[in-house]
Amino acid sequence: MADKYRLGNFFEDFSIGQKLVHPVPRTLTTGDAALYISLTSDCAPLHSSDEFARQLGYPRAPLNDLLVFHTVFGKSVPDISFNAVANLGYADVRFLTPVYPGDTLRAESEVIGLKENSSGRNGNVYVKTRGINQRDETVLSFNRWVMVHKNDVNSVCGDSRVPDLPERVSPETLSADASLNPAGFDARATGSDCWFDDYEIGERIIHNRGTTLEETEHMSATRLYQNTARVHFDQHMVAHLSHARRLIYGGHIISVARALSFSGLENGLRLLAWNSGAHANPSHAGDTIYAFTDVLDRAPLDNHPGLGALRLRLIAVKNQNPRHDPLEPRTWNSDKNRMSYHPNVVLDLDYWLSMPMRPGK
Amino acid sequence: MADKYRLGNFFEDFSIGQKLVHPVPRTLTTGDAALYISLTSDCAPLHSSDEFARQLGYPRAPLNDLLVFHTVFGKSVPDISFNAVANLGYADVRFLTPVYPGDTLRAESEVIGLKENSSGRNGNVYVKTRGINQRDETVLSFNRWVMVHKNDVNSVCGDSRVPDLPERVSPETLSADASLNPAGFDARATGSDCWFDDYEIGERIIHNRGTTLEETEHMSATRLYQNTARVHFDQHMVAHLSHARRLIYGGHIISVARALSFSGLENGLRLLAWNSGAHANPSHAGDTIYAFTDVLDRAPLDNHPGLGALRLRLIAVKNQNPRHDPLEPRTWNSDKNRMSYHPNVVLDLDYWLSMPMRPGK
Amino acid sequence: MADKYRLGNFFEDFSIGQKLVHPVPRTLTTGDAALYISLTSDCAPLHSSDEFARQLGYPRAPLNDLLVFHTVFGKSVPDISFNAVANLGYADVRFLTPVYPGDTLRAESEVIGLKENSSGRNGNVYVKTRGINQRDETVLSFNRWVMVHKNDVNSVCGDSRVPDLPERVSPETLSADASLNPAGFDARATGSDCWFDDYEIGERIIHNRGTTLEETEHMSATRLYQNTARVHFDQHMVAHLSHARRLIYGGHIISVARALSFSGLENGLRLLAWNSGAHANPSHAGDTIYAFTDVLDRAPLDNHPGLGALRLRLIAVKNQNPRHDPLEPRTWNSDKNRMSYHPNVVLDLDYWLSMPMRPGK
């Protein structure tokens, strides 16, 4: 009689080249879309209005790219990060085929790297994960690496390889949705007259709102994504840990910060790719999140006249309003002799966002 | 390089006759309908059951009138009331074409009045706002006035006009949905044998439940309506204000009180119009809301045999059960030499509700 | 002018054989399905994925059986248990026709027993309740008994009969959905290689997660089911009672525990029946819920080759992790001279779950 208590995978359970088909396919619906708005304050018209989407050439409003990301990510948790110490980073994250209400997503991962840590108590696991729809199209692919506990500290890890992941996604490799017609863009739906052309490299946009996080909210969001990582849900367990608080799923912070960034980036359309991402510090219920965006780069999308891609660095800050109390997210720490994050920074996300060029220009 | 920090409009930014097309059209769905029930405890069968609605001549269950109101109102916030001191009042609010899942709403406003306040630091802005569906039908129109901060206290306001708004909507101008057939009304769906004829002018109905408000709940509701007013969300900001608490969106109180009022008004159908409304005192998380209704007037709907309109005054009270501890909502305050609200009253809404007459009478 | 304050039924208002048509039919949608996942952490692929359901012979993903249960139960509250002291038990609960998004449910009950309690202040009401869809098919039937307050303690109860309810549902009377084809079961969707054959009578499965309950969450769930029982919502009222806390709807605990039990029972399909159920102790916001399952019995489903039914006892425990701190749910209490529940046990549910047999065996 086998013990059916599920431990999840530990560091020694992974091997390079291993393929994992993650359980629980998920049909996303207009119910999920409504909840996503209710949980994050998303105001992007592309995801809010079927009419706006149709004018751009979509059959209806596609689901928010981050709802798709969290759904696929959540599926990978029981296999990849149920025993994670920390979610360390992302590379070459690509948002591909749009997902619509009624589509069913499944997720698969391949282990692309492993590295035991010097403590011998855990190691880093590198995976490439794909989200796939019911027509076997890849809707999303991403690389992430996670520090995972060993179950047996004496286990020996045979494989050791740190994969060669790109520091950024090259804009030449980005492409917008084939059907997308920027000429159909109705700026009355966004209320903004700032276009691709109006964002300058080096510009900082401080977003004009903040939002306070609550326990029910982050747990409802994380449950919606069927992400079952225990640190987000189990106060009885975490009461004995250093923070003694439930940790908010880092993806919820991404969604909250991205929604705050609508104000100042109203004409943005789809997330095209993430270059990198770091959950710089943990967040807990009661924290108030603010956000600002630095414009890092911009590139036209060659196969899509009238459309460009902005490379943006989205910084989320807790309990400090960067409008009144500016900060640099990451500075040289001479004590530690390395770059380190400001203690109030909770997210550093480097991504490409598509945006129409100024019409008639 | 323009600063993309969005300030919203200040008092001096408005002019009489100015037209504003509010951003972010919104397709409402069964997801929003489910959330509305989950957030407010709405039990009205017209909005809960497609079968009940079809028997009355609707193609399916229309969305709750207040969900429509909040959606349209929310769109107007960034342009009209982002810098509001207070939401002062409503007049001639009309619920027109029913809205169904799949409909896309947009909102437009016209500035119909302005009046600088004697302090010189702010002024009242009067707007007429319309919600419009994808077929360009007006689904809702309302007048509201808001006290809005000046950005520059030295700015001079050229215009000054207080519009002539009706104190009440005349019942002769009310009309029910053309397709509505009161003969199809199935009272087993409401459980009530109280009809239009059974409500007497002067009657007070104390509703039999109370509900305690929570932070996540009011923020989720307000986000669902894409209402981004900061006082509802940003604890870090409001910690320095007098209440030191996030203010609950007054519309959430309307929805909660209206849902409580189902018990005692079960056979009500649609909101036809609001005559006036006042958010008498603020509400915060932790408050328990009770409600009672005074019957002010009643009128048959001339073009709709079998259907009448009740004029009702819905009073919401916090932290005092009016069943056990009765109160008058508004009394003469001799210290202040004016009428003033009981400190526990949080809503005073005067509206017309359609209701079938007793069948076979 | 009748007082329209709704008291609900008291013990003396019931009579044996009385039939009640409960108000407020409800169309369930994909919005409710999304909310159910968001509120409970349900991960069952049958309810999560249209593709998985279609492979099994369903037209699309049926709604979670417990969402159906709570909806039907909620409709019965205003008539049956608005004035309940306690929800005492369930018997012969049967999940029949699957319910799909778009179906409209109504509920009816018959009073099948009454028994005044020796205190003379209340009595037990036994009802058989049915949930019925828009095609007049019974989707669910259950017996429950509730202790209900008298309004007038001097009222005399004429009827007195305790109905003869089965201690368990005989497995010969269970049947799976006619269209269900177990050969279409895709175990990649569940991630489990444990089948009907792999569960042994006497086996205990400790589920590997815990979840902390919050006020907004349980109230949102209970509102979604249009269950208006005041003890779940009204902090102002309950502040004067012994717990001084809002009581969490026992059905929410069933949903939370059932969702936790996915881990270890991944290949389960539908709830077929409950044999019995007890809300052993109350739960409140802040409690962390864990769960374990004892395998009580197993039986093949005669008319469904390849499919069996497991009889399971689902125990939910608050604030004690049964993995690290084991407990027996119910033991002999020599002080009280009867069996009594461990104070941390909040649910004891005895049910039948369908599960495919190991393929090719």
* pLDDT, tens digit (0-9, with 9 covering 90-100), for A312-339: 999 999 999 999 999 999 999 999 999 9
Q: Which CATH number fits domain A10-153: 3.30.559.10, 3.10.129.10, 3.40.920.10, 3.40.50.720?
A: 3.10.129.10
Average pLDDT over residues C13-40: 98
Contact state of C215 with B214 under an 8 Å Cβ cutoff: yes
Tell me the shortest Cα–Cα distance from A158 to chain B, in angstroms. 48
State which residue of chain B sits closest to C234, comparing Cα positions. B211
ipTM (interface predicted TM): 0.97
Q: Does C290 touch chain B (CB under 8 A)?
A: no
Tens digit of each residue's pLDDT (9 = 90 or more) over C175-210: 899 999 999 999 999 999 999 999 999 999 999 999
User: Quick one: B9-167 is in which CATH superfamily?
Assistant: Hotdog Thioesterase (3.10.129.10)
**What are the residue ranges of CATH 3.10.129.10 in chain A?**
10-153, 192-361
| Fold annotation for A192-361 | Thiol Ester Dehydrase; Chain A (3.10.129)
Strand partners, C17: none
Give residue-wise pLDDT tens across range B55-75. 999 999 999 999 999 999 999
* Mean pLDDT calculated for residue range A45-49: 98
A235 inside 8 A of chain C by CB: yes
CATH number of C193-361: 3.10.129.10
> Of B1, B24, B224, B248, which to mutate for an interface test with A (greatest number of A Cβ within 10 Å)?
B24
CB-based contact B25 A190, cutoff 8 Å? no
Distances (CA, A) of C319 to C3, C178, C293, C331: 45, 41, 17, 19
Mutate to test the interface with C, among A20, A21, A27, A234 (most CBs of C within 10 A): A27
Does the pLDDT at position A360 exceed 90?
A: no
d(CA C48, CA A49): 25
Identify from C38, C63, C224 which residue to disrupt to test chain A contact, counting A C-beta atoms within 10 A and taking the largest count: C38
**A240 has a chain C CB within 8 A of its CB:** no
B49–C27 C-beta distance less than 8 A: yes
Say if B353 is an interface residue toward chain C (CB within 8 Å): no
Nearest-angstrom CA–CA distance, C50 and C34: 13
* pLDDT of C35: 98
The pLDDT of residue A1 is 59
Residue B240 contacts A where some CB pair is shorter than 8 Å: no
Residue B290 has pLDDT above 80, yes or no: yes
Nearest to A141 by CA among A163, A121, A181, A169: A169
Q: Can you spell out the DSSP letters for A103-133?
A: -EEEEEEEEEEEEE-TTSSEEEEEEEEEEE-
Chain C residues inside the 8 Å CB shell of A8: 208
| Parts of chain B belonging to CATH 3.10.129.10 | 9-167, 192-361
A59 touches chain B (CB under 8 A): no
Look at residue A7 and tell me whether its pLDDT is greater than 90: no
How many distinct helices (H) and strands (E) make up chain C? 7, 13
Residue A227 pLDDT grade (very low, low, confident, very high; cuts 50, 70, 90): very high
Most confidently predicted of A92-101, B172-181, B234-243? A92-101
Q: Assess A209–B contact: CB distance below 8 Å, yes or no.
A: yes
Mean pLDDT of B82-99: 94
Neighbouring-strand partners of residue A308: A300, A355
C55 at A interface, C-beta within 8 A:
no
The per-residue pLDDT for range C311-358, each reduced to its tens digit, is 999 999 999 999 999 999 999 999 999 999 999 999 999 999 999 999
> Of the CATH numbers 3.40.50.620, 3.65.10.10, 2.40.160.20, 3.10.129.10, which one belongs to the domain with range C11-154?
3.10.129.10
pLDDT surpassing 70 at residue B178: yes
Q: Which chain B residue lies closest to A194 (C-alpha atoms)?
A: B4
CA distance B104 to chain A (A): 6
Interface of A with B in 103-162 (CB under 8 A): none
pLDDT-wise least confident of A2-6, C16-20, C105-109: A2-6
Look at B25 and A52 and tell me if their CB atoms are within 8 Å.
Answer: yes
Specify the pLDDT at position C361: 62
Residues of A in contact with C51 (CB under 8 A): 25, 27, 104, 134
Give me the mean pLDDT over the B258-270 stretch. Answer: 98
Give the per-residue pLDDT at B32. Answer: 98
Letter string b/e over residues B177-214, b meaning 16 or more CB atoms within 10 A of that residue's CB? beebebeebebebbbbebbbebbeeebbbbbbbbbbbb
Whether the CB of B41 is below 8 Å from some CB of chain C: the reply is yes
The answer to whether C359 faces chain B, any CB pair under 8 Å, is no
Instruction: Count other C-beta atoms under 10 Å from residue A298's C-beta.
Output: 19
Q: Which residues of A touch B285 (CB under 8 A)?
A: none
pLDDT in tens, A183-193: 999 999 999 99
Chains contacting chain B through 3 or more C-beta pairs under 8 A: A, C
Determine whether the interchain pair B37/C226 forms a contact, defined as Cβ–Cβ distance below 8 Å. yes
How many CB atoms are located within 10 Å of the residue B7 CB?
Answer: 11
Residues A100-147 have pLDDT tens digits of 999 999 999 999 999 999 999 999 999 999 999 999 999 999 999 999
CB contact under 8 A, A208 and B6: yes
Q: What share of chain C is helix, strand, coil (3-state, %, to 5)?
A: 20, 30, 45
Do A209 and B228 make contact, defined as CB atoms within 8 angstroms?
yes
- Tell me the sheet residues that pair with A131: A107, A140
User: Each residue of B115-126: pLDDT tens digit?
Assistant: 999 999 999 999
pLDDT at B263: 97
Q: How many other CB atoms are found less than 10 A from the CB of residue A231?
A: 16
User: So what's the pLDDT on residue C117?
Assistant: 93
Nearest to C210 among A34, A134, A237 (CB): A237
Q: To probe the interface with B, which of C1, C4, C214, C225 has the most B CB atoms within 10 Å?
A: C4
Counting as contact any 3 or more CB pairs under 8 A, the partners of A are B, C
Q: Does C214 touch chain B (CB under 8 A)?
A: yes
From B34, which residue of chain A is nearest by alpha-carbon distance? A31
pLDDT in tens, A241-280: 888 999 999 999 999 999 999 999 999 999 999 999 999 9
Polymer length in residues for chain A: 361
Q: Check pLDDT > 90 for residue A34.
A: yes
Q: What is the pLDDT of residues B10-60, one digit of tens each?
A: 999 999 999 999 999 999 999 999 999 999 999 999 999 999 999 999 999
pLDDT band at B203 (very low <50, low <70, confident <90, very high): very high
Average pLDDT, rounded, for chain A: 96
Min distance B61 CA to chain C CA atoms (Å): 9
Q: Is C39's Cβ below 8 Å from some Cβ in A?
A: yes
pLDDT in tens, A167-176: 999 999 998 9
A79 close to C (CB below 8 A): yes
pLDDT at A361 over 70: no
Q: Which residue intervals of chain C bear CATH 3.10.129.10? A: 11-154, 193-361
Chain B positions touching A321 (Cβ under 8 A) are 236-237
| Chain A to chain C Cβ contacts (< 8 Å) | 135
**What pLDDT sits at residue A326?**
97
Structure tokens at B304: 């709709």
> Cβ distance B231 to B279 under 8 Å?
no
Query: Would you call B48 an interface residue with chain A, using a CB distance cutoff of 8 Å?
Result: no
- Average pLDDT of every residue of chain C: 96
The residue with tokens 């029930």 is: B37
The residue of chain B with its CA nearest to that of C38 is: B35
pLDDT over 80 at C1, yes or no: no
Neighbouring C-beta atoms of residue C247, cutoff 10 Å:
18
Segment A227-237 shows an average pLDDT of 95
